[in-house]
Structure 1
């Protein structure tokens, strides 16, 4: 009569379960570092600093995050874009300064701006702003016969 080998499958299953359990415990046992880097807070207080026929300067309040390395500037055409749709006009300013001058505006066009803070981890949520405020500037041509308006909403 032949001697039958013992079934090793339950042992293999138990060994595999022990490895999986050990990995799960090890993963759960690693606490997150308290000072782990995070995306910056969002800018607040977005406002028009100045406006002219050929440029608009916007400003905002820093969220108090020293890790900010730049800002993403977004703009939409108020009259032709749906609410919430913005184009990125500056992906990263490369500076923590809290103003930006948009020199690519068209007279007679209404714009809405938003700003994100940027750091080495990523990009913040979009800035918030007080209720919309419109700035209208008028420029007279050399002959004084026509005028052009630029309206900016922040």
Structure 2
């Protein structure tokens, strides 16, 4: 069985957060979604659990950081093309995200970043591994 990842994110408003991520094209697994938490499907093996603050707090004794004031993690999603990066970024901005910095173009790697409605940092990246520095030439 493939290992799966479930990233747990504290959110302020379930309805608002779900609408935001649905506008980006993500779906939710209804089996693990209710008013306290929502299982957002990113891929077959990657999920984000959106948990309202009081419910998130039941999993930790630590204070929930305000993602608008401090960074605890940056979530990076790979995209199949530069066009997909730009299209997903456009949907995020139209749904209310903010863009904390300009696009970065390193030739072999192109990425953009947005902060979601709760301030969590997301990066969208396309990488051409064949053009990456240090990639050995193709065997003759």
TM-score class normalised by the smaller sequence = under 0.3
Greater relative contact order (Cα 8 A, min sep 6): structure 1 or 2?
1
